[in-house]
Amino acid sequence: MIKARVTVTLKNGVLDPQGKAIGGALSGLGFNGLRSVRQGKVFDIELEGSDRTAAESELKAMCDKLLANTVIEDYSIALL
Amino acid sequence: MQAAVILLPGLNRDRDMIAALTKITGQPPLTIWQTETTIPEDVDLIVVPGGFSYGDYLRCGAIAARMPVLQAVREKAARGVRVLGVCNGFQILVESGLLPGALMRNASLKFVCREVKLQVSNAATLFTSGYEAGQIIRCPVAHHDGNYVADAATLKALEDNDQVVFRYAEGTNPNGSINDIAGIINAEGNVLGMMPHPENLIENAHGGEDGRKLFEAALGLAAA
């Protein structure tokens, strides 16, 4: 079995109202010196088999087809 | 003309859309479930209604856009059949790649349910020929993720080609949408997506009929 973690984040320049609200709440809690907060998503995925190269291309296809909206999001894949 | 309404789990404006189409055409539209892989030949207008398909999991419209029926919609759209996506339907069309850009969380982070003013920015489309260019109409909105975004090149292409069909007018932008965009059409002019709900303003019992002309135009029923 192969374990992977896919991280999806908003592209630079795409406004993130949720991140902004979270940042506001953190400042309200007294965390000073906060420059910005961007919210993203994490997917922990387990795959059958042991071929890491095949797993990586499979995960990339998953990102391109569903997990990320590449109009507004970037993704990164880490095999664990 | 024959209309068809696409059905997906989690939509909740399908009944409103079916009722509106039934009242306007005098016959109920076909309904097509998400697992269907074909849409009947005689369908002239495909409508993807609003709601919360798949609970808005992952991203609004993302999972619905990957269902078999959307591939059938894509094939029909490529052959020039008219497609209208309203609210979640707009989000689904954007996620399916039928329309450019993306719809993000409202800038206010709040769900907005109210009436807005829309300016008809392009009255020369198959859907808006019943309106005057620049006309301001009333229309209800009800959404949490209607904040239209697109990269600079896409936005410029949309503006240059007159693909922005509806804009929020008179300071009523409810979601922070760029350039006050409320609805866009594809370059070919047969796929329209919009966040507001024209199906909820088609008869006097709704408090007005401003949305009716959109359906009449799309269905070829506009009075000569």
The ranges assigned to domains in chain B are 2-218
Q: What is the CATH number of domain B2-218?
A: 3.40.50.880
State the amino acid at position B58 in one-letter form: L
Q: Do A71 and B176 touch (CB under 8 A)?
A: no
Tell me phi and psi for residue A30, to 5 degrees: 95, 10
Q: Is the pLDDT of residue B223 over 90?
A: no
The answer to whether B96 faces chain A, any CB pair under 8 Å, is no
pLDDT tens-digit map of A1-26: 999 999 999 999 898 988 999 999 99
Residue B137 contacts by C-beta under 8 Å, 6 or more apart in sequence? Answer: B117, B118, B120, B131, B210, B211
Q: Given the DSSP bridges, would you call strands B43-48 and B82-86 parallel, antiparallel or unpaired?
A: parallel
Cα of A3 to nearest chain B Cα, Å: 20
Decide if B143 is catalytic.
no
* Residues B73 and B45 sit within 8 Å (Cβ to Cβ): no
Looking at chain A, the whole-number percentage of residues with pLDDT higher than 90 is 92
Residue of A nearest to B152 (CA): A13
The domain total for chain A is 1
* Residues B185 and B217 sit within 8 Å (Cβ to Cβ): no
State the amino acid at position B167 in one-letter form: R
Cα of A2 to nearest chain B Cα, Å: 23
The number of residues making up chain A comes to 80
pLDDT tens-digit map of B33-85: 999 999 999 999 999 999 999 999 999 999 999 999 999 999 999 999 999 99
Give residue B54's pLDDT: 96
Spatial distance between the Cα atoms of B168 and A72, rounded to a whole number of angstroms: 23
Residue of B nearest to A67 (CA): B58
* Residues B146 and B174 sit within 8 Å (Cβ to Cβ): yes
Spatial distance between the Cα atoms of B204 and B52, rounded to a whole number of angstroms: 27
**Owning domain of residue A55:** 2-79
Q: Do B109 and A71 touch (CB under 8 A)?
A: no
CATH code at position A69: 3.30.1280.10
Tokens coding A70: 């590449």
Cα of A20 to nearest chain B Cα, Å: 10
Q: List the single residue in A17, A18, A66 with the smallest CB-CB distance to B62.
A: A66
Q: Is the pLDDT of residue B100 over 60?
A: yes
* Residues B95 and B64 sit within 8 Å (Cβ to Cβ): yes
Taking the CB of residue B19, how many other CB atoms lie within 10 A of it?
16
* Residues B123 and B89 sit within 8 Å (Cβ to Cβ): no
Q: Do B107 and A69 touch (CB under 8 A)?
A: no
Q: List the single residue in B62, B105, B151 with the smallest CB-CB distance to A18.
A: B105
Spatial distance between the Cα atoms of B151 and B137, rounded to a whole number of angstroms: 28
Q: Given the DSSP bridges, would you call strands B82-86 and B191-194 parallel, antiparallel or unpaired?
A: parallel
Residue B75 contacts by C-beta under 8 Å, 6 or more apart in sequence? Answer: none
Which residues on B lie below 8 Å from A71 (Cβ)? 100-102, 150-151
Q: Say which of B60, B95, B144, B197 is annotated catalytic.
A: B197
Give residue B224's pLDDT: 45
Tokens coding B107: 């800038």
pLDDT tens-digit map of B140-184: 999 999 999 999 999 999 999 999 999 999 999 999 999 999 999
Decide if B199 is catalytic.
yes
Q: Is the pLDDT of residue B131 over 70?
A: yes
Spatial distance between the Cα atoms of B195 and B183, rounded to a whole number of angstroms: 6
State the amino acid at position B111 in one-letter form: F
Q: Say which of B60, B87, B115, B139 is annotated catalytic.
A: B87
Write the DSSP string, B6-52: EE-TTB-SHHHHHHHHHHHHSSPPEEEETT-----TTEEEEEE--B-
State the amino acid at position B6 in one-letter form: I
Give residue A15's pLDDT: 86
Residue of A nearest to B64 (CA): A66
Q: Say which of B95, B115, B199, B216 is annotated catalytic.
A: B199
Spatial distance between the Cα atoms of B32 and B204, rounded to a whole number of angstroms: 29
